[in-house]
Amino acid sequence: MFRRLYLTCLSLCLLYPLAGLAAPGDILFSDDFERTGLGPNWTADVASAAGISAATSSSPTRSMYTRNEAVAVTSTVIDLSVYGADLSVWIRRGDDAFSEDPDPGEDLVVEYLDSVGTWQNLATYLGDGTPGEIYNATYILPFDALHVNFQLRFRQLGGSGVDWDYWHIDDVVITEKAATRPPLKIGICDDFEQGLSNWTENSSGGSMGISSATSQSPTSSMYTQGGVVSATSNTMDTNTTQFSGFSVWIQRGNDAFSEDPDNGEDLVVEYLDNTSTWVTLETFPGNGTPGQIFTRTYTLPASAQHTSFQIRFRQTGGNAGLWDFWHIDDVCIEGTVPFPVFVIQKNVSLENDPVNVTNPKAIPLSNSRYNIRVVNTGTGSPDNNTMLIRDDIPAGTEIFTGNYSGGAPFAFIDGTGVDASGVSCTFISLSDTTDCITFLDAGNNPIVPNGGYDSRVKAVEFRPTGIMNASSSGSTPYFELEFRIRVAP
C-alpha cells in the first residue's frame, strides 16, 4: 500500500570529487631508483626483463630499465583522490654505448589505471628513434586518473632476446596540482588554460606542449614542434545524432613568436571513425605564410558517431630543437548536449506492528519499508560516479542497520533488460567508508551504526557507482533502494 507517512527531504545531486588532506605542490609519489631491486614500489610481469642498473640515469647513479621482450612494470597502488595531479618522468632510449637500442615495434608505452579499472595510454615512445635520446616529460593526469586505486605502468611492446632493446626510466614523480580540465565531450571546449590532461603525445622526435607564445583565447595554446609528433584527444562518446563535429583554431608558427615550419613539416587534422580508422580532414602545409591563422568548423559524417571518437593533430616532420611550430587552440566538440532528467519516487508501506496481525498501524515499534525509485527519463547520462541520493530519517523513527537483504542494511534493485540502470550499489561493512551507503548523525557527520535500530542515524546517503544509462524510445533506466524504518518506542 502507498503511504505518504514520514516522507521527508529527498535529493539527488551531482557529487564532485572530494579532495584529500594534501595540497597543490605536495609530492604524492616519487622514485629515483637509487637501490638494487624494483620493490617495493614496482613489480614486473617478467622478472628477467626489468630491473635497476647504473648504466645511465637522470638523478645520481641509477635508473629502472626494461629490455629483451614484451614486459610490463607496474607501480604499487597510489592514492590520487585529489583535485588534480601531474606526472613527471625521465625516459631514455637505449644505446649501444651503455645498453642496447630498441628496434621498430619495440616501443615503450606509458599507461595509467583509470577509475573503472581500465589501462589508458598516456604516451608512446617509438623503438626506432635516435639511440640514447632523452625525454623529460610531464603529463597532467586526466580526471579518470584521480582515484584511490591509481597505478602507473611502463610497458615495452617487444624485444629481440637476452640483453637487447633497452629503455631506461628515472625520477618518476607525481605532484598534486589544482583542478584539471573536464574531459572533452559534446558541448565542451578545451582552451588549453589548464594543461594537457585531455591529450596524449605520440612522439618520434617531435614534442607537444602548452605555451603563451600565441593563442586565440587568453592566454595559452597547445603546440607541436621539432619533428614527427601527434596530439590525440581523450576518447569521447559521440554515438548520437546530436553530435555534429568540432571546431578549432590553428596558427602556423612564425619567427616573431615561435618558428615557422618548412616544406613537408605539415599539420594533419584527423578523426577516428567507427571502424577505428584515422580519417584525414585537412592537411595544412608547412611552407605556407608564417603566422597564418586558420579557423575551422568540421561537420562530420555518421561514421564519426560512435563510442570511441577521438581527434588527432599530427605534425609530419621538423628539425630537432625549438623549430617548426604549429599552434592549436579552442578545440570545441559541437552538438546538442543530452542531459539526464531524474524522476524520484518514494513509497512507504507498513510491514507490521506489535499488536495488529492483518491490518498494521503506524504505532510505536511498527516497521515500514521505504522504497526510493530513481528513473532517468532524459537522453543523457550523468558523469561517472557522480550520483548522490540522500534521505533524512523522520523525527520519532529509527532506521534498521542490520541484515535487511543479503547481509546489507538495504536492498539495491536494478531495472531489468533494457531498463537496467548501469550503476551498482555495493555493501562491504557498516564501518567501511568506500561502499555505497553512509550513515549520518544530527551534525551530518558519518558514524558507524550499531547494527540494529539506531536512533543516532538522522540521514542516510547512497552513492551508486558507474554511469546511469540514458533513456531512449525503448528504455527507461531505473533502480530502487529499499530499507526499513520503525516508529521509535
Q: Which residue has the higher pLDDT, 488 or 21?
A: 488
Q: Which of 147, 86, 88, 142 is nearest to 116 (CA)?
A: 147
Q: How confident is the model at residue 26 (pLDDT cuts 50, 70, 90)?
A: confident
Answer whether 10-16+339-487 and 182-337 agree in fold: no
- Host H or E run for residue 454: strand 453-454
Answer yes or no: is pLDDT of 9 > 80: no
Split at pLDDT 50, 70, 90, the class of 22 is very low
Quick one: average pLDDT of 333-353?
A: 90
- Domain coordinates of the chain in residue numbers? 10-16+339-487, 32-180, 182-337
User: What CATH class does 10-16+339-487 carry?
Assistant: mainly beta
Please report, to the nearest 10 degrees, the dihedral formed by the alpha carbons of residues 160, 161, 164, 170 taken in order: 100
pLDDT, residue 83, reads 72
Residue-wise pLDDT for 149-194, tens only, equals 999 999 999 999 999 999 999 999 999 886 666 789 988 999 998 7
Please name the residues in contact with 183: beta carbons below 8 A apart, sequence gap of 6 or more. 142, 143, 144, 197, 198, 234, 236
DSSP letter for 147, please. Answer: S
Give the pLDDT of residue 187.
87
Q: Give which of 121, 279, 101, 135 is closest to 204, Cα–Cα.
A: 135
Residue 12 has pLDDT above 60, yes or no: no
pLDDT number for residue 140: 81
Q: Kindly report the CA angle at 142 between 211 and 124, in degrees rounded to 5?
A: 75
Q: What mean pLDDT is reported for the chain?
A: 91
Q: What is the pLDDT of residue 239?
A: 92
Residue-level pLDDT at 488: 96
Neighbours of 407 (CB within 10 A): 10
Architecture of domain 32-180: Sandwich (2.60)
Instruction: Tell me whether strands 267-272 and 293-299 are parallel, antiparallel or unpaired.
Output: unpaired
pTM (predicted TM-score): 0.47
The predicted pLDDT at position 363 comes to 95
- The architecture of the domain spanning 182-337 is Sandwich (2.60)
Query: Among the listed ranges 181-195, 367-381, 424-438, which one has the minimum average pLDDT value?
Result: 181-195
Sole residue written with cell 503506524:
362
The C-alpha atoms of residue 134 and residue 50 are separated, in whole angstroms, by 19
In sequence order, what are the residues at sequence separation of 6 or more whose Cβ sits closer than 8 angstroms to the Cβ of residue 225? 206, 207, 208, 253, 258, 259, 315, 318, 322, 323, 324, 325, 326
